[in-house]
Amino acid sequence: MVQETFKIQGMTCSSCAATIEKNVQKLAGIDIATVNYATEILTINYDENKSNLSDIVENVTKSGYSAKKIGYEAMAVSSEEIADYDKQQRLFEIKNLWYKLLLSGIFTLPLLYIAMGHLLGLPLPNILEPGQNPLNFGLIQLILMIPIIIAGNKFYSIGFSSLFGGHPNMDSLIAIGTTSAILYGIYGIFQIQTGNIAYTGDLYFETAGVIITLILLGKYLEKKAKGKTSEAIKKLIGLQPKTATVIHGGEEIVIPIEEIEVGDIIHVKPGEKIPIDGQIISGSTSIDESMITGESIPVEKIPGDKIIGASINKYGSIKYKATDVGKDTVLAQIIKLVEDAQGSKAPIARMADTISGFFVPIVIGIAILSGIIWSITGASPVFSLTTFIAVLVIACPCALGLATPTAIMVGTGKGAELGILIKGGQPLETAHKIHTIVFDKTGTITEGKPIVTNILTEGTITKEKLLMLAASIEKSSEHSLGEAIVREAKQTGLPFIKLEEFQAIPGKGIEGKIEGQHILLGNKILMENRNIDIILQKDSDHMASEGKTPMYIAIEGEMAGIIAVADTVKKGSSKAIQKLHELGIKVAMITGDNQATAKAIASEVQIDIVLAEVLPGEKAREIAKLQKGGEIVAMVGDGINDAPALAQADVGIAIGSGTDVAIESADIVLMKSDLQDVVTAIKLSKSTIRNIKQNLFWAFAYNALGIPIAAGLLFIFGGPRLNPMIAAAAMSLSSVSVLMNALRLKRFKITNKISLRSNVL
C-alpha cells in the first residue's frame, strides 16, 4: 500500500468531505480515504497496481471538487513558493467570500425592507406600493434577488451537483429551498400580472435573500477560523540554510544544498548552520541542537560524531561528510511528520458528517412527501407547493449551521481576550475531552536557560573567589554552561581577572592561567585524566541526581570546588500540574534530556509519567501510542522539535515565548507563557461545548417542532397552515436565539489563578 495526500478545493461543509470520501473509496485498490475538512487535505492508502493518481484526481473532479497532490517529496526546491501560494490562495478565498457577502448584504437589506417594511408601517414610494403598483412591487424584488443569486452561486452549483450525485449536503438543502422560494416568487409575479394581486403577500424573494446572506456570513467566519496549515511547513523548511561550502578537488565552492550528494565533504565555520546531516571527519566544536532535539545545552562534537542539519555550530571549525540528503534528513522527516499529522482527520469531525448525511435527505424527503400527500388529499397545487417550500425553508439549517460556529467564535474570542489563542473550533471542541497532557520539559516546564544553582568550595578559597576565577576563564568560552557562570558573576557584581593563557579541551572542559595560577575547569573525566582527587564526589553525585550539571574547578592541580548549573523549573509549573490533577487529567513529561535530569524535574512538580531521552520523531510516536489506547492527548511544547508532536496530538498547545514553528503547528497558543493558562483553556473548552450542546438541542428541537407544523400538522386539526414567510421569520428567530445563547460565553471568567508567593524554588 502507498500513502498519498491531496489538497482539495471547493468544499463548503463537512458533508462535502463525506461525499469525496465515499466516492474515492469506490475506486479499486483504495484501502483508506480520509478527508480533513479543516485542513482541506485528502489522505489515501491505495494499491498502486489497481489505481493511479490520475484516477483519484478524476474521481474527485467528477464529484464537483478539485484535487492536487502534495507532499514533502514533491516540494523540493520550490517548497517555500508552494507554501506562499497556499497562503495567498487562502487569503484570496477569504477576500472572495467577503466580496460575495458584501454584495449579498447590500441587496438583501433593501429587498427585506421592500418585502417586509410595509407590514411594519414603514413607508414605501408609491411606485413600489403593493396596493397601488403590485407588479412593480414584485419585479423590484426579483431584480434585487438576481445579484444575491450570483453571490451565492456556489451553493447552487455544489448543492445540485451533490444532489444529482446521490450525496445531498447542506448546500443541496439551501439550493432547493431558495430555488423553490424564487420560483414560487416568479409564479407569484405571473399571477399578479394576470390580476391576482393577493399574491403580493406570497412573494418569498426576501426569504431566499436572507438565507443566502446568513449562510455566506457563516462560510466567511468559518474560512477565517481555519488554521494556516502551510505556515508551519514553510518555517521548518526555512530553518535549513540555502547553501553549503563543499570541498571539491581541494577547493572550497559554495553550492545550493539541493546539489549536495551523499559523501560530499562540507566545511562549516563558527556561527554557521549545519547544512545537511553528516559525520565529522576533522575538527571539534560545540553544536546547539536545541531546535531539533530540545536539549538546552550545546553538545560537544569530535571526529566520528554525527551532526544534524539546521543545528548551529557554536565555535569550532569542522569538516564533515554528508550522510543523508533530501527526504532522508532529520529535518525532512520532521516536516513529513508535521505534514502527516496535520492531514489526519479529527474523530469529532465524524459527528458533522453523520448529522448532514441523515438530516438533509430526511428533510428533502419530508418536503416532497408532504407536498404529494396534500395533492392527493385534494389540496390545491398552490397549497401543496407552499407546504413543500415551508418545510424546506423552516428546516434550512441556519440555526443548525450557526449553533457550533457562533459558540466557537465567541469562545475563541474570549480566549484571545485572556491571552489564549485557539485556532478554530476543532481544538476547542476536543480540549474538554482530554485524558492526558504531555508537557515538553525544556522551555515549557523549565525556564530553558541554565543558571548557577550551587557553589561548593574546598579549602580556604571563598565562593566569590571561585566564581570570579571560573567566570574569568569561561569568558573566553562560548559554551552555554560557561555563559551561565559568566552571567552569574555579572549579576553578583564580581570583576573579571585578565586571562594569561586559554585552551579549550573538546568534550571535557577548558584550562588557562590567571595571576600565574593554572586553572582547570571541566567535567569528571577531565579531572580523572589529570589525576586530580575529586574530594567532593558525594556532593557532586547528589547534585547530578537532582538534574544538575556539576563543573569541577582545580587550581594548581588541587580540587578547589564545584559550580553546579541547571535548567530550573518555571514559577507556576507545579501549581498548574496540581490543577490538572484536580480536573482528573494525567500529566506526562517528554524530553530529549537524560533520565536523571528528567526524573529530578518530574519529582519536583509531581509528574505522573516520565518519557526521557526521546528523539523528535519518537515524540510524535509516543503521542500516537497514547492515542491508540483510546486516550485524548494534548501536547504542550515550545521548540521546533515539538512541532511533530504538537501536530500529532489531538490538541497541540504551544508556549507563546516558543519558536514560530511550534506556534504555527499548535492548535492553542498561550501568549503569556503561563502554564496555568492550560487549565483555563480546558475550562473554556468545557464551557463552550456545553454552550454548543445547548445550541444544537434548541436547533434540533426547533426543527422537530417546526417541520411537522410546516408540513400541515396543525391544519389537519383545524389550525392555520404555516406560511413560508412565517417559516422564514421563525427560522430567523431560531438563529437569533442561538446567537444570543452563544454570547453568554462572554461572561466566562478565570477561576483557576493561584498566588505564586509561596512557590519558592
Residues 608 and 643 in one domain: yes
**Could you tell me the three cell numbers for 266?**
562540507
Residues 6+ apart with CB under 8 A from 428: 408, 411, 412, 415, 422, 684, 685, 688, 689
CATH code, 657: 3.40.50.1000
Nearest CA to 456 out of 552, 542, 566, 563 is that of: 563
Same domain? 519 vs 584: no
**Do residues 421 and 483 share a domain?**
no
The CA-atom distances, in angstroms, between 345 and each of 199, 224, 241, 274, 746 are 50, 19, 33, 35, 30
Q: Is 518 in the same domain as 599? A: no
Which of 37, 52, 70 is where one domain is finished? 70
Task: Quote the pLDDT of residue 755.
Answer: 33
C-beta neighbour count of 118 within 10 angstroms: 17
Question: Per residue in 9-67, pLDDT tens?
Answer: 877 665 677 778 888 888 888 888 877 665 677 888 888 888 888 888 888 888 778 88
Cell of 664: 504555527
* Same-domain status, 579 and 667: yes
> Which residues have a Cβ under 8 Å from the Cβ of 406 and sit 6 or more positions away?
695, 738, 739, 742
What does each C-alpha distance from 602 to 136, 436, 450, 577, 646 come to in angstroms? 78, 15, 17, 11, 20
Same domain, 577 and 650: yes
Can you give the residue range of the structural domain that contains 41?
Answer: 2-70
Residue 407 lies in a domain: no
More confident site: 663 or 478? 478
**Residues annotated as catalytic (active site), given as ranges:** 440
CATH assignment at residue 494:
3.40.1110.10
**Beta strands 633-637; 651-655: pairing state:** parallel
**Total count of residues recorded for the chain:** 761
Asked if the model's pLDDT at residue 264 lies above 90, the reply is yes
> Using CA atoms, how far apart are residues 323 and 307, in angstroms rounded to an integer?
10
633 and 578 inside one domain: yes
The confidence band for 235, taking pLDDT boundaries of 50, 70 and 90, is: low
**CA distances to 646, 648, 653 from 619, in Å:** 9, 9, 15
CA quadruple 484, 489, 495, 501: dihedral sign: negative
More confident residue, 480 or 644: 644
Residue 89 lies in a domain: no
Nearest C-alpha neighbor of 400 from the set 3, 15, 10: 15
Domain boundary among 17, 35, 70: 70
Are 437 and 623 in contact by the 8 Å Cβ rule? The answer is: no
Domain final residue, candidates 631, 659, 682: 682
Residue among 327, 552, 320, 548 at smallest CA distance from 446: 548
Give the whole-angstrom CA distance, residue 566 versus residue 681: 30
pLDDT band at 348 (very low <50, low <70, confident <90, very high): very low
- Tens-place pLDDT, residues 323-339: 988 877 877 766 665 55
Element of type H or E holding 364:
helix 349-376
CA–CA distance, 275 with 266 (Å, rounded to integer): 8
| Strand order through the sheet with 265-268 | 251-256, 243-248, 265-268, 318-324, 277-282, 306-307
User: If you write DSSP's letter for every residue of 572-635 in order, what string do you get?
Assistant: THHHHHHHHHHTT-EEEEE-SS-HHHHHHHHHHHT-SEEE-S--HHHHHHHHHHHHHTT--EEE
Q: How many domains does one find in the chain?
A: 4
pLDDT band of residue 77 (cuts 50, 70, 90) is very low
Q: Helix 381-395 vs helix 349-376: angle between axes, to the nearest 10 degrees?
A: 170
pLDDT (tens digit per residue) in 593-606: 767 778 888 888 88
Q: How many angstroms separate the first and last alpha carbons of the chain?
A: 53
State the pLDDT at residue 397: 55
pTM of the model: 0.56
Q: Is residue 253 part of a domain?
A: yes
* Domain CATH for 14: 3.30.70.100
Checking if the pLDDT of 546 tops 90, the result is no
Q: CATH number, domain at 269?
A: 2.70.150.10
**Residue 66 near residue 202, CB atoms below 8 Å:** no
Helix or strand holding residue 520 (H, E) = strand 517-522
State the average pLDDT for the chain.
79
- Alpha-carbon span 138 to 147, nearest angstrom: 16
Give the H or E element holding residue 299.
Answer: strand 299-301
Shortest CA distance to 507 belongs to which of 305, 746, 756, 733?
305
Distance, in Å, from the CA atom of 496 to the CA atom of 468, rounded to the nearest integer, reads 6
- Report the C-alpha gap between 438 and 295 in whole angstroms: 17
